[in-house]
Structure 1
Amino acid sequence: MTDFNKECLNALLNKEKFDEFMRTQLEEGLDQLLESELTAFLGYDPYAREGWNSGNSRNGSYFRQVKTQFGPIKVQVPRDRKGEFHQHTLPAYGQHTVPLESTVIQLYSHGVTTREISDLIEKMYGSYYSAGTVSNISKQVASQVESYHQRQLSDKFFCVYLDATYIPLRRDTYQREAVYVAVGIKPNGHKEIIDYRIAPVENIEIWGEMISNFKERGLEQVELFLSDGFVGIKDMLKQYYPKSKFQRCLVHVMRNIKGKVRVSDRKEALDDFKQVHKQSSLKEAETVLHAFYDKYDSKYSSMIKNLQKIEEDLLVFYQSPKQIRPSIYSTNMIESINNMIKRKTKPKSEFPTEESLDNFLGVQAIGYNDRNANRTHKGFGQVTDTLESYFD
């Protein structure tokens, strides 16, 4: 066992000794790295003859304090006589301004309160940032999110997915509240989170306000809306986009079927219904759907009557090119976004204010849109010209 290993093992028995041991090792290691860096810059070792009359030489050193997770250490930074040497081992001087502000913004955007952030920053860096200072920094996030909500929208989307998810929020009391999300795909296949809204529950009035806002911000034409069939949503959409079509999410329909048949019949019934979206033409899909009616009507007549009432909304996606049908028979795409948001909220049991939740969601939406700005959704790139022809 080396002397280093022995000292390390002995120090591990006492945290204070271990921290002191690591500080000493870090100081020695950084000093050696900095000296090696200057040697590489000058091109000769200390006291080497080739350094004589070279035009530049070592010129002592100065001490610099560096904060580490084991406490502050004092590092000896060497200098050259001409002052041309700039070391890269240590971060540049500063009071953590850029990285600290970045940390504050990231924490705030994830729903952490300004008080919690200031306490955390003090523990992490040993320098106190008041809740007011943190609040001023975090206003950068709020400004970005406000701009996101007010930005001008594209004048047309081929399809727009609508869905709501629920996230814990505290007002006077804790409660899971609805987050209304709209995701669109343009005729060129580029997708984006168009916008979102926060409200205590899902209702048609909020959806109406959201869709009306889209119109005001420049969205003139939508070929197809997709939703789970929330009561009244189809009629509401027609008020603002009378030429648009409406597709009911077939995955939600299958979930309803699952809840309305016996456990012993579920697998067979769901497998049969899945065949509806796997056909090559509308006519074939209608044949499969009517065969489903005939097979289960005697056992589950109520379920079949409900399906027949919404039949005109089940097969609309067959009117679109076959290359994109796998993407437009359900709201799976928007549900994957909702699941991503929920995964990121897990570390946070609840959001303390609507503003903190709004900022969290805004950062997720802006990030998603930036990542997908130049990506074409699967299948859409093959039929861009065809999709453009759907619009005036």
Structure 2
Amino acid sequence: GHRYSHETLSALTDQVLEAAGAFRTRLLPEEMAFVYLDGLSLKVFREGEGIVRESVYVALGIAPNGERRVLGFWLLPTESALGWEGVLGELWQRGLRRVRCVVHGVRWSLSQVRARDRGLLAEDLRRVYGAESREEALGALEEVKAAWGSRYPGVVGLWVQDSGAFLRFYGYPKVLWPY
């Protein structure tokens, strides 16, 4: 039943916009265990245009201790590779440095090898990221290096060079490993 003046509503809106701006530009931790990126389409009101459909880009992170965080959100006209590039660039500028996606590492690796080798390499890589311990994973990586290193040095080199990032999840609670 309380009524607010236009000045009060304007002041409240300014405070909310200021807080949202500070949230969207705050520094991020250097490392996240996982980052989920998603885009969804919403209808929004644009002055002079009416109701239009735009994309909301959302970045969610899980810290190494399991804490969930909203890293950011962006409203852009459409969802596109260029839009995601901007989102990732902003996350980098705000301090996020270490996130490595094993799934995309495997996909890229398999796209770089002959079709007849994909199944065998996928099986060998699965022994690396599906191991029961970091030590077992490193042993499996040595086997990948011995079996595939001479045939696909770029692919194997990526896994060896970035093994610290690819296998970082072994330092997290085991319940998080599948994610």
TM-score range, shorter chain: 0.5 to 0.7
Please give the per-residue CA displacement for 1:207-258, whole angstroms capped at 9, x wherever unaligned: 343x3xxxxxxxxxxxxxxxxxxxxx5xx56xx26xxx72411110111111
Q: CA deviation at 1:311?
A: 2.2
Q: The residue matched to 1:261 in structure 2 has which SS?
A: coil
Q: CA deviation at 1:270?
A: 0.5
Partner of 2:61: 184
Aligned equivalent of 2:35, options 146, 151, 161: 161
Please give the per-residue CA displacement for 1:139-172, whole angstroms capped at 9, x wherever unaligned: xxxx9xx98x93969x9997450546698xxxxx
Partner of 2:51: none
1:207 equivalenced with 2:88 (yes/no)? yes
Partner of 1:298: 150
Amino acid at match of 1:182: A
Verify the 8 A CA contact 1:178 1:202 in the aligned structure 2: no
Partner of 1:255: 107
Please give the per-residue CA displacement for 1:267-310, whole angstroms capped at 9, x wherever unaligned: 11111101112222111111111211111012212222233332
Distance 1:263 1:179, change over 3 A: farther
Q: CA deviation at 1:315?
A: 0.7
Distance 1:160 1:292, change over 3 A: closer
Distance 1:187 1:261, change over 3 A: closer
- Give me the whole-angstrom Cα distance separating, in 1, the residues matched to 2:110 and 2:40: 22
Distance 1:287 1:165, change over 3 A: farther
Question: Number of paired residues?
Answer: 143
- Give me the whole-angstrom Cα distance separating, in 2, the residues matched to 1:308 and 1:166: 36
Distance 1:297 1:326, change over 3 A: same
Q: The residue matched to 1:248 in structure 2 has which SS?
A: coil
- Give me the whole-angstrom Cα distance separating, in 2, the residues matched to 1:254 and 1:166: 26
Contiguous gaps of at least 5 residues in structure 1: 1-142, 168-176, 212-232, 328-392
Verify the 8 A CA contact 2:35 2:61 in the aligned structure 1: yes
Partner of 2:6: none
Partner of 1:280: 132
- Please report the RMSD computed on the Cα atoms of aligned residues, expressed in angstroms: 3.9
Amino acid at match of 1:326: P
1:270 equivalenced with 2:158 (yes/no)? no
Task: Tell me the percent identity.
Answer: 24
- Give me the whole-angstrom Cα distance separating, in 2, the residues matched to 1:188 and 1:319: 10
Q: The residue matched to 2:61 in structure 1 has which SS?
A: strand
Amino acid at match of 1:150: A
